[in-house]
């Protein structure tokens, strides 16, 4: 039995900001490592549920919560990344543009189908015994939970990012009874806790052989999904699947698959900008955009020069992936996939990775220091390097206020009674007011905007 200490989940809850826990982003770490089963998941509320009668006060939840603390200096010291360094990417080995060579996987993926194809490849070649990714809850198809998947057909059916809070790291309690090696798809914040556990010798976390990161500007509370259901007059019980990058042409919007065979959806532009309303507070205070401690990081590519390469029959672009390889085993894996015809890769320099994400670089990797300065409740970040000069201080200050107002109950109610595209109208005019300059991403989206409306 674990030795009792001064911390239990009640202490953790208080430190995270009380019962609402604004510094919790439902990463699932506390649930996954709790030795007594005192913590379980409320998937719809997006938070852990605590059974105090089962708590042994071992402090594991408190000590491994990335809403409490992240020691970046320790992670940097123990992470064996590449010998190259970039201010934003941190350590890396190579950068690529890529996509799945399986055209069907590419079409169904969020950005080139690269993650899905690589997971399938690992199963085909028996490199891992299973892959960990989000799957629909069997009894509540509109919600997602992490599962170990060994079936290739199921992996392909699970493609695309899920823009809702999923307790990915709760899978650690399932790994307790498993043997073998696994690959996991995770967000940067979830990876912070996984790497900490691996560094400490946690046997369950060490079964995860490959960590694939999704480049992450933000996640969304589950309220963004239910907002879509209400606007489309959909009952949760009628939903059999949710796809967040499917409706309309690429890059695709929120789509609901219903029991009667019908599909209803919201275009990319109207749904995407709900992030200004349903942004989890902990996401607002996250400084890791590129998944700096993964083996390989994946995200969209918005390079204008790719528009003429890879078009569907309607002349609209197919997705491409921005790929950052950080470790030697990650490089060996993805180059083997290329050699065996599973992946198409083109090596590029970091500048072309950054070209796709200028706003997010400014917002997440620079504006974070302004938001941290203004936040009353915030995690303790050790070893986080601050730039010599903060970029666009006034813009980030105003945008931080906008995010706080957007998250209020009053504004969410107001938005719920307005036309579906009202939030898009507000965001576009806010950008004009703040002198926002269109970038590569805006040009690509404008190219495809009418097909998604």
- What's the Cα-to-Cα distance from 59 to each of 35, 38, 453, rounded to whole Å? 10, 12, 50
- Angstrom distance (rounded) from CA 229 to CA 84: 45
Tens digits of per-residue pLDDT, 65-98?
A: 999 999 999 999 999 999 999 989 999 999 999 9
Structure tokens at 215: 């480049």
Residue of 343 and 445 predicted with greater confidence? 343
Tens digits of per-residue pLDDT, 246-258?
A: 988 778 889 999 9
For residue 395, the SS3 value is helix
Predicted local distance difference test score (pLDDT) of residue 313? 64
Predicted local distance difference test score (pLDDT) of residue 305? 84
Tens digits of per-residue pLDDT, 376-401?
A: 999 999 999 887 777 788 888 998 99
Domains and CATH numbers, the chain: 9-70 (3.30.70.20), 72-359 (no CATH)
Tens digits of per-residue pLDDT, 182-210?
A: 999 999 999 999 999 999 999 999 999 99
Predicted local distance difference test score (pLDDT) of residue 1? 43
| Total-model pTM | 0.94
Structure tokens at 285: 């205070």
Query: Going by C-beta distance under 8 Å and a sequence separation of 6 or more, which residues neighbour residue 204?
Result: 32, 33, 172, 173, 175, 176, 197
CB atoms within 10 A of CB 55: 18
Q: Which stretch of 219-228, 314-323, 329-338 has the lowest confidence by average pLDDT?
A: 314-323
When the pLDDT of each residue in the chain is averaged and rounded to a whole number, the result is 91
C-alpha neighbours within 13 Å on the C-beta side of residue 448: 28
Is residue 141 within 8 A of residue 4, CB to CB? The reply is: no
Task: Give the residue among 105, 2, 118, 132 at the shortest CA–CA distance from 63.
Answer: 2
Residue with tokens 């019980």: 237
- Angstrom distance (rounded) from CA 65 to CA 173: 16
């Amino acid at each position: 039995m674990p030795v009792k200490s001064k911390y239990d989940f009640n202490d953790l809850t208080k430190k995270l900001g009380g019962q609402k826990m604004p510094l919790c982003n439902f990463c699932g770490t506390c649930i996954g490592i709790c030795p007594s089963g005192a913590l379980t998941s409320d998937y719809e509320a997006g938070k852990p549920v605590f059974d105090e009668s089962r708590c042994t006060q071992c402090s594991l939840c408190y000590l491994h919560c990335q809403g409490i603390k992240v020691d970046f200096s320790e992670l940097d010291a123990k992470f064996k990344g590449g010998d190259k360094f970039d201010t934003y990417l941190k350590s890396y080995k190579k950068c690529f543009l890529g996509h799945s060579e399986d055209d069907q996987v590419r079409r169904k993926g969020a950005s080139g189908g690269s993650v899905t194809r690589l997971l399938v490849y690992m199963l085909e070649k028996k490199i891992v015994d299973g892959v960990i990714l989000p799957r629909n809850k069997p009894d509540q198809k509109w919600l997602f939970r992490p599962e170990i998947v060994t079936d290739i057909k199921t992996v392909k059916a699970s493609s695309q990012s899920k823009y809702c809070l999923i307790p990915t790291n709760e899978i650690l309690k399932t790994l307790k009874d498993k043997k073998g090696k696994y690959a996991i798809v995770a967000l940067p914040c979830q990876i912070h806790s996984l790497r900490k556990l691996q560094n400490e010798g946690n046997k369950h976390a060490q079964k995860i052989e490959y960590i694939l990161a999704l480049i992450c500007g933000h996640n969304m509370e589950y309220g963004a999904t239910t907002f879509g259901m209400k606007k489309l007059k959909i009952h949760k019980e009628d939903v059999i699947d949710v796809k967040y990058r499917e409706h309309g042409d690429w890059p695709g919007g929120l789509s609901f698959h219903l029991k009667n065979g019908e599909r209803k959806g919201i275009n990319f532009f109207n749904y995407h900008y709900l992030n200004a309303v349903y942004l989890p507070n902990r996401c607002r205070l996250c400084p890791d955009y590129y998944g700096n401690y993964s083996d390989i990081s994946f995200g969209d590519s918005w390079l204008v020069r790719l528009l003429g390469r890879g078009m569907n029959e309607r002349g609209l672009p197919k997705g491409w992936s921005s790929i950052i390889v950080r470790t030697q085993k990650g490089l060996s894996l993805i180059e083997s996939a290329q050699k065996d015809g599973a992946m198409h890769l083109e090596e590029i320099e970091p500048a072309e990775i950054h070209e796709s994400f200028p706003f997010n670089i400014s917002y997440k990797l620079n504006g974070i220091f302004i938001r941290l300065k203004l936040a009353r409740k915030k995690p303790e970040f050790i070893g986080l390097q601050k730039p010599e000069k903060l970029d666009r201080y006034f813009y980030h200050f105003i945008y931080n206020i906008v995010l706080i107002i957007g998250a209020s109950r009053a504004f969410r109610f107001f938005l719920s009674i307005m036309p579906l595209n009202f939030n898009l109208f507000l965001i576009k005019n806010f950008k004009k007011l703040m002198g926002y300059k269109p970038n590569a991403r805006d040009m690509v989206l404008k190219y495809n905007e009418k097909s998604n409306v």
